[in-house]
Structure 1
Amino acid sequence: MRSSFLQQRQTRPELRMAGWILLLLWKTSFILASKQRQIDFFRFTNKTQAPDMEMSASQRATMVTFLQKGMPDAFKEAEDEMAASNDVPSRQSLCSRAGDIPQQKSMMSVIRANRFNWPKEKSLEMGGSARMSEIAMGKMLDKGDMDRNQMTAAMSSIDARQTPIGRFCLNRDQRPCDPNAKYREMDGWCNNLRLPFWGAALTPHIRVTPPRYDDGISSPRTQSVVMTNGGRALLPGARQISTTLSRGEDRPHPTVTLITMQFGQFLDHDFVNTPISLVQTKPGEASPPQCCNVAPNCRDAACFPIDIPANDRFYSKFGVKCMEFVRSLPAPRPDCTMGPRDPMNQNTHFIDLSQVYGPSADENKNLRAGERGGLRINTSPLAIDFRMMLLPADKDTLDCQRLDESRSCFKSGDNRVNIQTALTAIHTIFLREHNRISDFLWNARPDLPDEILFQETRKIMAAQWQAIVWGEFVPVLVGDRIAMDDRNGIRLVADGFFNGYNDNVNPGTWVETSTAAYRLHSLIQDWLPLKRTFNESFKPFHEFFFTPYYMYEPGALDNLAEGLCHENVQSFDNQITTEMTDHLFQAVDEPFGLDIFSLNIQRGRDHGLATYNDVREFCGLPRARSFKDLEDVMTPRAIASLARVYTHVDDIDFYAGGISENPVNRGDGLLGPAFACILTGQFRDWRLGDRFWYENPGQFDLAQLGEIKKASLAGIFCSNTNIKQIQPRVFLDAVDGVNPRLPCQNIPRMDLSKFLPSLPGAGK
């Protein structure tokens, strides 16, 4: 078991002060180990098109004319190709001759591993449309004799409304917007009154760096920049990168607590839910394609499996040579143009608690209690007998490995709620917080209808959520030096309102954020801490995948919440626990699971993510010409690891490079400069581009804003668990005189009575 030092601190509080002393030594090590850059302000180089795609106006016009002439035939061929791929009997006949019909047990493993990326029916329709566009683009480019990269760029000038994909184009007038609406739409539509689909659910991620596809359209990046006699060399495989860079070393962070990791995952599920592709297994039914142990003539186009070397340090013990991987669904472009593939987002892009409330009105309706503005709760005998307010039960057993018929999976606004128990716990706490606030409002104004009580509660919830994310969490990620510099645009106002809303800022989730910079898996410990009443205080992390049943134990939520605030995360670096690189989503009856490091690399290539060097350039860092040039942000050991697995510095995947960097500003923040840069820009744009941002004029009055400033994660925990003491800044260790553990009655809380004057009919 790792992190024995952290476990000793349960009985030896004096070791907490030792942790802060270690922090000073830890920061000093970065000064000695590398020529670390000091960063206050990121100067972004906005360049979303590669240099080789630039062209004159006349060149573009010529190419557009050529492409438009070829569109009808190209789309007809694309339709025929997709129809053939959906011909279930023919495909089964081919597979049967190859002897490769997947067995049910292996298919269930594939389904469960991909359950958290499950597409909605509308997503599948839109994804099919985008896929047809990709195929048609490829056929048009194959028939041209002009520069392929420039032709791809010219696609952005082509209006595809008259093609078969036209019905999925988003029309800014298709749903009228009320400029005086008091509340957000559930799906994020109409936040921007000029471009109402900006930030809405079922729209693409956006990019701030050029896409990198082998064919310029959609084929994942597999080729090195290095030329050989036979053409371009191949990039190293994802698992090879994982095992070369990460050895699962124990490097606990001296001051940042484990709740940072868990809060981070909960936040991630607010702004991104990227669905995968499915295939028809029989008419009317679909599931993820099986990609491993399948003959080439049976492998679906959505497959992008990860090869595992024969001498792999772990999987070779079990004869595993392939890891399942299914590509994300592409999204049609909102402006109905054509261009390189972009992944879809099923959630709203805004930080609005869509993981609690659902990203659509229909999904939200199924979560509502229908009275008092509340959310549904669990009505199982266990929950009622022990008077526990738990999430409602979900009868869909695919979401978890059900071991006890009396304990069901849980349902929330996001289908990933059951992935691991600590995530379920945070969902439960926010459910309770919603119902606590809605009960207060109902008791004060029982005359108000359920819908008004719900929306007013949701508005207050989103406000304190944004205040906690930007005020408490973001500074831990990027460091106070960056977070407090007003030029970066992420510092909350001290007094008054925020006047920075800009309807020209797209609040969309960046591919660079969701696919790399916000993948915080390096923080995960190889255990979860269960405190107080459990016989075993620490259990291996993989035992909690798809098994949320601890929540039915009396006191389980309190114990887990306290443990997350008490123990520390791993440092953010290229060392990821083997619980995540060997045992991710491991089934109860299996000795191995998946590898999150490999999946992150593969997903980056699937999404056409720019390289590490591309992102350095975007962030204002000099483009590295050799591995030695990385010394400004990395240790010699980290550089040596990258050089062992990559042939050229331009080949480095953004995720692999980003987690290899030293923490920004000598440990002021958790992340390295490249990841800190991307997240600084992302949180800036989420704020600037949100018309309903809580600090904007018209959202709350000054007295209410004063109460929202009191909001903290510590306060939410105190209000919704039986925790008795907690440190005010829960993302950091409790240290006497610095961040002391206080009785909950001493933790500031919002005075909800200040929100009553804004309710309809108040004062009558």
Structure 2
Amino acid sequence: KCKTVTFVFSDNHLTRKTPPSYADGVYMLAGQNRPSARKLSQIFMKGEDGLGSSRNRTALLAFFGQVASSEVLMASESGCPIEVHRIEIEKCDEMYDRECKGNKYIPFHRAGYDRKTGQSPNSPRDNHTNRMTAWVDGSFIYSTSEAWVNAMRSFENGTFLTDETENLPIRNTMRVPLFNSPAPHVLRMMNPERLFLLGDPRTNQNPALLSFGILFFRWHNVVAKRVQNEHPDWPDEEIFQRARRIVVATLQNIIAYEYLPAFMGEGLPKYEGYKPDVHPGVSHVFQSAAFRFGHTLIPPGIYRRDGTCQFRRTPMGYHALRLCSTWWDSNDVLSDSTVEELLLGMSSQISEREDTVLCSDVRDKLFGPMEFSRRDLGALNIMRGRDNGLPDYNTVRSYFRLPKIKEWSEINPPLFKKKPELLQLLAAVYANRLDNVDVYVGGMLESRDGPGELFRAIIKEQFTRIRDADRFWFENTESGIFTEEEIEEIRKIRLYDIIVNSTNIKPGEIQKHVFFWVKGDPCPQPLQLNTSLLEPCRYLQGYDYFEGSELAYIYACVFLGFVPIVCAGAGYGVVKLQNRRRRRLRMRQEEIKNSGGGKTSVDKMAVREWLHANHRRLVKVKFGPEAAIHTVNRKGEKLRTVNFGSTENMKYEDSNGNKKRPLILIRVPRDHDLVLEFDSLASRRKFVAKLESFLNSHKKRLLSVHSSCEMMLANAETRERRQKRLEHFFREAYALTFGLKPGEKRRHTHMDNEDDGEVMTVMRTSLSKSEFASALGMKPDAVFVRKMFNIVDKDGDGRISFQEFLDTVVLFSRGKTEDKLRIIFDMCDNDRNGVIDKGELSEMLRSLVEIARTTSLSDEHVTELIDGMFQDAGLEHKDFLTYSDFKLMMKEYKGDFVAIGLDCKGAKQNFLDTSTNVARMTSFHIEPVHDGARHWLLKKWDCITTFLEENRQNIFYLFVFYVITIALFVERFIHYSFLAEHTDLRHIMGVGIAITRGSAASLSFCYCLLLLTMSRNLLTKLKEFSIQQYIPLDAHIQ
């Protein structure tokens, strides 16, 4: 019972009756060394159309075979993702390469399979998915989905929904997922709502299959009405289920005991009851080879007639409907025909002969995808066997207890005796190897008046297993579905009875044995159909997906090209507008500020500031309102302020030789000069007049000096020259502090005489507050800078002389801890009254917090911190500190004060703790090493080793990052290059997809790390643990 239930659902797997024979033993197509499937189809399956069946089988049998196949099979649909392979086409192929261009191929999609397989030789590609159930259970009529069949039901009297004629099913307005392949004769996708809603998604493929679908649709409604008449008190559900059981039973009886004997020439063994140990799964050889024998019976067209033997012609005057012109357009045929006409026509029409030949409508003109609208069914059948990994023809024979073929002629002696050239071709294309013949080709060559012995054995074994393993088979009396009398009645029902009871066809208008037409049966066919009697088949080669989209594509490209430009322009305009408003607001605020104090209005003039030989910038010079001039940029931001408050006279130089670009150099005491360039002499005179007027208003004098332009620029103290002088300033202070022992004088070398003048210039250099702040890496208006500057500036002239700076550096490097404490105490003592109150200490703490660039402290936190410091020192009863109290408070941190120093940018040196500096002093004085004698490679090597030593931790993590990134790329690249080269895009794009997938994996890892840097709270928390010693969490700050 459990085994039976296992195979009742759809999407089960095909069953292996022979071992898989993939080219690599895992997943690659079998028969890689065999000829092209198209070439084999051209040799063995190409022939003359219009040869009738040797046993007078009808077209009704040929197309009913598709019903029997659809009932138990749907295993050729492509998997996901799609795996596309190429069927090679020989050059100058009469169907697919008429222009002899070459390099043509038929696309072939491999069938879906269990993705868990196909990974190793122990688990080769297997378990191909069968979307239908393995039973003859009416899946063709009722589908395999409860939701699907509910969409077909009327829920009244157990019947299906019908249209207004009550003879046809409704159209697919509910968008049930029916197959809607493109019609190859029009080469476009049509509206899916035009299709008839039936149980099998493939029913609308061709008119014959659609006729059978509608026939059994009607048969269900007929049976449902009979059940209702017998049981008028039954509800809709019971009527529907009872009618369904009867319809399924009649379908089982027709397939097993009417169709199969007519198709194979022999019937199934006698039914012996339900066998739960039998596996009912559909085998690969049945699906991919044996049951495809019926394709040879399919005619190129379909006759239509009425009950009076009047055969209808097409509107174009042809004898019958052309099959290749009706693929996936069957609903259009039924708008001009009736189901009765098609069934009567097929019952009188003789099918094609049972041989290896397929008619051209399926061999050359089978439907296909948009890009290849016509395909070769013979080649597809061969490729399907290779896709399923079927072994060779002889191996399959041995597994079905048939003797192996030892000579080529043993396959079909009468055929090869009649066509000896076919025997020679067979041996030649397979390189005279009997162990390498495709099972489909070998099985088809066995055919005489029906399937050969191999295909008969496979088909018979398959349907016997399906019947015997079915607990609900209609003949199984143990299931309790039918009584003995009902089983006997079902056995009497033939396809003829269903046709007569479900259509308007009368008993005398169709033969009782509908699968054969013999002499004396109603309405013989006018003649055996061949392609010459039918309308030409349209072959639309390829499909241009771009057609009709040219104009939209051009507009889209133009739009996408202009979008960045428009966005950039809009953004630039918004920024400009905001800057303009900001400048106006700033200017208005300054005007209000100046006018509010009763001061005169500020005069301005646009000039060009000369910075050095290759750099000039446009600025505005603002005069006042205080005794200073300012240079501002076009945004109104101050670039520089030149203050004249401390001098009585201001001196400037003008160039007397350059009339095109006249210059003015304004000498700024103890700062770099201001060089301005004008467009004309008139502009310079205007500037001089404004400057003189401005200075006179502040009781200052303007002195002028004339010099040449070259001399002026050569002697100008530019910002760059000032910066170099300041760097020299710091280096000299450093050298004098750490390079000389107490009482030792500076040594002189032969080059020192040249530098004496420069050294004296440095000695006379003094630092402004802004330069001092820049050296410390702080803002000039910082509280700490202001306090420190006031301490260092002992004479209070607003400048730090070289001697004052030198004394401070010596103090911090060699001084005692008490001296450092005294400096800090004096810095906190704003009012110089000898004591520090809590307000002054709070101001100092805030400045230190600001320097540390950490979270700002609130007033409560600062007060709490200061109270804690007072309490720890036992001074909680005091509101201020004397110097002795301050020393007492700092006694606990006395050791930490050794590390107090100044970090000056120009010196590239932090004056750290005393012990370190003492060690430096003892080892600093060494004899000068002349590096000029060393080779440049050694100098470069020293730089590299120094860099590696300083950044070894960062380099290690950078190395780990690159290793992981490369490993991810290589892993995906190897997977798509060597482990999945048969799949979808990999097969089409080649190595390109492997590169892109590897890059995607590496990029995903990089994006994850990028997101990690945004986790600021996590990084802050990690800094509290020792892990920060091993991971450079603050490397980006450094």
Are positions 1:540 and 2:322 aligned together?
yes
Residue 304 (structure 2) aligned to one of 510, 514, 530: 530
- Distance in 1 of aligned mates of 2:423 and 2:498: 42
Shift in alpha-carbon separation, 1:499–1:671, aligned structure 2, 3 A: closer
Residues 1:325 and 2:108 are matched in the alignment: yes
Is contact 2:169–2:197 with CA below 8 Å preserved after alignment? no
Distance 1:197 1:695 in 2: 21
Letter in 2 for 1:244: I
Change (3 A) 1:397 1:684: closer
Per the TM alignment, residue 549 of structure 1 is displaced from its structure 2 partner at its CA by 2.1
Superposition pairs for residues 31-50 of structure 1, below 5 Å?
A: none
Q: Which residue number corresponds to residue 247 of structure 1? A: 46
- Secondary structure of the structure 2 residue equivalent to 1:304: strand
In structure 2, how many angstroms separate the alpha carbons of the residues matched to 1:640 and 1:210?
30
One-letter code aligned to 1:584: L
Alignment of structure 1 residues 385-464 onto 2, 5 Å = 388-390=167-169, 392-393=171-172, 395=175, 398-399=180-181, 401=183, 408-464=194-250
* Residues 331, 360 of structure 1: alpha-carbon distance in 2 compared, 3 angstrom cutoff: farther
Secondary structure of 2:253's counterpart equals helix
Deviation at 1:470?
Answer: 1.5
Match of 2:756 in 1: none
Change in Cα spacing, 1:403 to 1:605, as seen in structure 2 (3 Å) is closer
Deviation at 1:555, TM superposition (A): 4.7
Deviations 1:592-623 (A, max 9, x none): 61000010111110011122111221233221
Contact 1:367 1:375 in 2 (8 A): yes
Q: Which residue number corresponds to residue 283 of structure 2?
A: 510
Q: What secondary structure, in the 3-state scheme, does the structure 1 residue paired with 2:492 have?
A: coil
What is the alpha-carbon distance in structure 1 between the residues aligned to residue 358 and residue 497 of structure 2?
Answer: 31
Mapped contact 1:253–1:571 kept (Cα < 8 A): yes
C-alpha distance after superposition, 1:508-546 (max 9, x if no partner):
111111111111211111111122454443122101100
| Larger Rg over CA atoms | 2
Tell me what 1:372 maps to. Answer: 157
Aligned-residue offset at 1:405? 7.6
Deviations 1:238-294 (A, max 9, x none): 1011001122323211411110111000111110111534557xxxxxxxx5xxxxx
SS of residue in 2 equivalent to 1:570:
coil
C-alpha distance 509-194 of structure 1, shift in aligned 2 (>3 A): closer
User: % of aligned pairs identical?
Assistant: 28
Moved more, 471-480 or 540-549: 471-480
**2:65 pairs with 1:264:** yes
Matched, 1:580 2:362: yes
Deviation at 1:630, TM superposition (A): 2.6
Q: Take 2:278 and 2:115, find their aligned partners in 1: how far apart are those partners?
A: 20
Distance 1:195 1:474 in 2: 24
Report the Cα distance in structure 2 between the residues aligned to 1:194 and 1:253, rounded to whole angstroms: 41
2:80, 2:112 within 8 Å by CA — same for their partners in 1?
no
Aligned partners of 1:270 and 1:347 also within 8 Å = yes
2:130 counterpart of 1:345: yes
Greater share of helix? 2
Distance, in Å, in 1 between the alignment partners of 2:414 and 2:457 is 13
Q: What are the ranges of 5 or more consecutive residues in structure 2 without an aligned counterpart? A: 306-310, 525-1038
Give the Cα–Cα distance (whole angstroms) in 2 for the partners of residues 312 and 502 of structure 1.
Answer: 51
Q: Flag the 1:403–1:521 CA change in 2: closer, same or farther, 3 A.
A: same
Q: Which amino acid aligns with 1:365?
A: N
Change (3 A) 1:249 1:442: same
Structure 1 pair 411–685 and aligned structure 2 pair: CA distance change class (3 A): same
The DSSP-based 3-state class of the residue aligned with 2:331 is: helix
Tell me which residue corresponds to 1:693: 473
1:238 aligns with 2:37: yes
Give the conservation status (yes or no) of the 8 Å contact 2:366–2:374. yes
Rounded to whole Å, the distance in 1 between the matches of 2:395 and 2:106 is 28
In the other structure, the counterpart of 1:87 is none
Look up the match of 1:671. 451
- Contact map agreement 1:400 1:547 (CA 8 A) in 2: no
* Aligned mates of 2:4, 2:208 — CA distance in 1: 37
Cα offset for 1:464? 0.8
Tell me by how many angstroms 1:400 deviates.
5.5
Give the secondary structure class of the aligned counterpart of 2:289: helix
TM-score by length of 2: 0.45
Q: Quote the offset at 1:307 in angstroms.
A: 1.4
> How far did 1:693 drift?
0.8
- Evaluate the alpha carbon distance shift between residue 641 and residue 466 of structure 1 in structure 2; reply closer, same or farther with a 3 A threshold: farther
* RCO comparison, higher one (Cα < 8 Å, 6+): 1
Paired letter, 1:692: F
Deviation at 1:565, TM superposition (A): 0.4
Structure 1 Cα separation of the partners of residues 94 and 60 of structure 2: 31
Change (3 A) 1:439 1:561: same
Q: Show the counterpart of 1:479.
A: 265
Alpha-carbon distance between aligned partners in 1 of 2:209 and 2:169, rounded to the nearest angstrom: 13
Q: What is the CA deviation profile of residues 3-58 of structure 1, one whole-angstrom value per residue up to 9, with x for unaligned ones? A: xxxxxxxxxxxxxxxxxxxxxxxxxxxxxxxxxxxxxxxxxxxxxxxxxxxxxxxx
State the SS of the aligned residue for 2:351: strand
Residues 644-678 of structure 1 deviation map (CA, whole Å, 9 limit, x = unaligned):
32121111111111111133xxx4xx211111110
- 1:529 aligned partner, one-letter code: Y
1:451–1:392 distance in 2 versus 1, CA, 3 Å: farther
Q: Residues 506 and 258 of structure 1: is their aligned pair in 2 closer, same or farther, counting only changes over 3 Å?
A: same
The Cα shift of 1:634 comes to: 5.2
Q: Does the 8 A contact of 1:305 with 1:324 survive in 2?
A: yes
Give distance in 2, aligned partners of 1:604 and 1:592: 22
Displacement after TM superposition at 1:472 (Å):
1.1
The alpha-carbon distance between structure 1 residues 261 and 309, as it changes in their structure 2 partners (threshold 3 A), is same
Contact 1:545 1:586 in 2 (8 A): no
Match of 1:99 in 2: none
Q: CA distance change for structure 1 residues 391 and 265 in 2, over 3 Å: closer, same or farther?
A: farther
Structure 1 letter corresponding to 2:331: Y
Q: Provide the C-alpha distance between the structure 2 equivalents of 1:614 and 1:376, rounded to a whole number of angstroms.
A: 50
Measured at CA, do residues 709 and 196 of structure 1 come closer, stay the same or move farther in structure 2, by a change above 3 Å? closer
Q: Does 1:359 align with 2:144?
A: yes
Counterpart in the other structure of 2:512: 728
Contact 1:270 1:355 (8 Å CA) reproduced: yes
Distance 1:316 1:390, change over 3 A: same
Cα distance in 2 for partners of 1:533, 1:314 equals 30
Q: Distance in 2 between matches of 1:405 and 1:428?
A: 20
Aligned to 1:202: 11
Q: Does 1:222 align with 2:31?
A: yes
| Code of the aligned partner of 1:714 | Y
Cα distance, 1:722 vs. partner? 2.1
Which amino acid in structure 2 is aligned with residue 245 of structure 1?
Answer: F
Distance 1:257 1:569, change over 3 A: same
Q: Distance in 2 between matches of 1:558 and 1:631?
A: 40
Corresponding residue for residue 303 of structure 1: 84
- CA shift, 1:633, in A, is 7.9
Cα 1:360–1:444 change in 2 (3 A) is same
Q: Which residue of 2 aligns with 1:564?
A: 346
- Is 1:643 the counterpart of 2:417 in the alignment? no
Q: Deviations over 1:527-582 (max 9, x none)?
A: 11122454443122101100012454365211111011001111222111111121
Partner SS for 2:321: strand
Deviation string for 1:733-760 (max 9, x for gaps)?
A: 1433xx6789xxxxxxxxxxxxxxxxxx
Is the Cα–Cα contact under 8 Å of residues 503 and 689 in structure 1 kept in the other structure? yes
The question of 1:599 aligning with 2:380 is answered: yes
Q: Hey, what does 1:129 align to over in structure 2? A: none
Q: Distance in 1 between matches of 2:78 and 2:401?
A: 36
Q: CA RMSD in A?
A: 2.9
